[in-house]
Structure formats: C-alpha cells, structure tokens
Structure 1
C-alpha cells in the first residue's frame, strides 16, 4: 500500500490549496514523502522498525498546532510530513497482515505498537497491498490532488497511480515469481 499511503499524504498536502496555493506543490511533495516514509523498513522488520502508530501521533499533534499558530510554509510542511507518516501507520492497521500471500489472511501482525509492546492485528478493510480496493482508494486520494497540481508534479503523480494499477494487476503473481528467482518458498512472514 505504499503508493496509497503516499497518495494520501499528497492529498493532505493538497488541502493547502485554498489557503496557500503557492505552497501547495511543495506541500503535496512533502505529504507524498511523509506518506511513503515509514515503508523504508520494507527490507528490515517491516511495520515495526519505522512504523510508530502511537508515537507518530504524539509528534504530529504539536507539529500541527505549531503550523496553525505560526502559519509559515516550513511549519506547514513539517505538520503535513508528520500527519502523513502518522496516517500511514494507522492505515496499515486497517489493511492486511504481514505475509507473502496476504490474500490468505494468515498473519495477525498489522503494525507494532511500541508504546504497549505488542502487535496490533490487521483489520483488513483493505484486504492486502495490491488488492483492487487498494488501487481504488489510492486513485480516489489522487483525484483531487491531480486537480490542484500541474506540470511535472501532476504527471509524476499520475504515473504513480498508473504504477499502482500495474502492481494490482501482477500482485498475485509475485510470490511464485520470487520462489523461482530465489529458489525458496516465499511462505508467510
């Protein structure tokens, strides 16, 4: 769901359009990065190393308050970055679990809650990363962002939406492909 997270972050950034249209392109980019940022742990302890569903909110709240009080582009960008990263962690709880074949729904690990020292179970509102509803959600977040952006930024976001659609088209073929390439069973994590 990385593209969906990133597109939601961009959506948060696009919310600046009515208030600060000059800052909107930067806010969209910052939101996009913030939405994707927690997934830097994809090759490590995914959804544990850089996912902080509770602590991220504790940082996002004062950052948002600062942005509302100060109103500078830098404070706004910081708030959007923090809000997008927080939303990512919370969205992962609403998605599928940590397994190579998430459509089988065998994992009870959604996101690690560092504050309470336990895994939060996946809710599977979006069954798994790469499910059709994942694409629809990302495209829905992207639509208003595409309406307030232009040029290379719009084309870049559109390419992310199209890449997300391609991922959905091949998602179920990836585990058997990984088994052939790496010569091992890509069973559940």
Structure 2
C-alpha cells in the first residue's frame, strides 16, 4: 500500500492549489514524505515502530492550525507531513494483516496502537497491500493529482503509479521468493529479518 499512502498524503495538499498556490509544491512534497515515513520501519518492528495512528493524528491538529493561522513553508510542511503520516497509520487498519501472505487472512495484527498499547485487528477493506483494489485506489488518487501538480511532481505521481502496477503484478511472487530465500540465509541475518519472514 505504500504507493497508495504516498499519493493519499500528496492529495491532502490539494486545497493549497487554490488557497496558497505558492505553498502547494511544499505541501505536496511534505504529504508524500508523511505518507512514506511510517513504512521506514519495514524491517524494524513494522507497523509498530513508526506507526502512530493516535499520536500523529493528535499532533497534526495544532500543526494544521498553525499552518492556517501563520502559513509558511515550514508550518505547511510540518502539518502536511503529520497529516500524511496519520492517514497512513490509520489507513493500515483497513488493510490486510501483518504477515508474509496477507491474502490468507491469518494475522490479527494490522497496526499497533501505542495509546491503548495493543494491536488493532485488520479490517481488510483492502484485502492486502498489492491487491487489485489497492492498485485501483492508487490510480484513483493519482487522477486529481495529475491535474493539480506541475511537471516535476507529475513525474513523481506517474513513477509512483508505475511502482504500484509492478508491485501488484509481482506481489504474490515476492512472498514466495522470500519464503524460498530466507531459509537459505545464514543465521547471522535472523536478527535483521522481520518476524513474518521466519
């Protein structure tokens, strides 16, 4: 779902095109980075280490207020980054579980809620990352972006869609490759592998 997350983060900046066009490029870039940021924990406690559905959401409120009251590149960037990270963390609840083959539906872990100190179960509105409906969401989010953004960011949107298409085509094969390759790795790699790979 990473392409979907970054496109959704970018789309959060759409109001800036009319309200503050000079800040729109900063907003689109910050939304992209905010949508990306939580998944930097992919190999270190995925969906727990950098996913904060409650806290990103709470922090984004005063940041958004600051961006409205005192719009600047900094306030807009902070607000859109936090909103993108919040949307990503919350959206992961509506996807598949945290497992190597999420289409099997065996995991009861979607994202960790640090506020309640418990895992939130997957709701599977999107069956799994890389599913056809995930790709459809990415394409749907990209359409308004292709209209709203200027050529440098348009290339980012097109590149993100290309990644989404390739990932969707290969998603199930990637799980099979991981399942075949991981047992062949030396034991020294074990501490660095996500739990779902073992």
Which stretch of the first structure deviates more once superposed, 62-71 or 82-91? 62-71
Displacement of 1:182 = 2.8
Displacement of 1:76 = 1.6
Alignment of 1:110-125 (within 5 A): 110-125=110-125
Please say if residues 135 and 168 of structure 1, whose CA atoms lie closer than 8 Å, have aligned partners that are also in contact.
Answer: yes
Q: Map Cα deviations across residues 8-43 of structure 1 (whole Å, 9 max, x no partner).
A: 001112331111122212211110000110011000
Give the TM-score, by structure 2 length: 0.90
Please say if residues 182 and 197 of structure 2, whose CA atoms lie closer than 8 Å, have aligned partners that are also in contact.
Answer: no
SS in 1 for 2:22: coil
Distance 1:31 1:107 in 2: 29
Alignment of 1:43-122 (within 5 A): 43-122=43-122
Higher percent of residues as helix: 2
Displacement of 1:187 = 6.2
Displacement of 1:150 = 2.2
Distance 1:15 1:151 in 2: 18
SS in 2 for 1:106: coil
Please say if residues 6 and 32 of structure 1, whose CA atoms lie closer than 8 Å, have aligned partners that are also in contact.
Answer: yes
Query: Partner residue of 1:130?
Result: 130
Distance 1:93 1:104 in 2: 17
Distance 1:93 1:24 in 2: 29
Distance 1:108 1:2 in 2: 20
Which stretch of the first structure deviates more once superposed, 19-28 or 132-141? 19-28
SS in 1 for 2:84: helix
Q: Which 5+ residue runs of structure 1 have no aligned equivalent?
A: none
Distance 1:104 1:30 in 2: 34
Paired residues, number = 189
Which stretch of the first structure deviates more once superposed, 69-78 or 107-116? 69-78
Q: Map Cα deviations across residues 61-112 of structure 1 (whole Å, 9 max, x no partner).
A: 1111111111223212211111110000000001111010000010000111
Displacement of 1:57 = 1.1
Distance 1:179 1:72 in 2: 48
Query: Partner residue of 2:182?
Result: 182
Please say if residues 10 and 142 of structure 1, whose CA atoms lie closer than 8 Å, have aligned partners that are also in contact.
Answer: no
Please say if residues 178 and 197 of structure 2, whose CA atoms lie closer than 8 Å, have aligned partners that are also in contact.
Answer: no
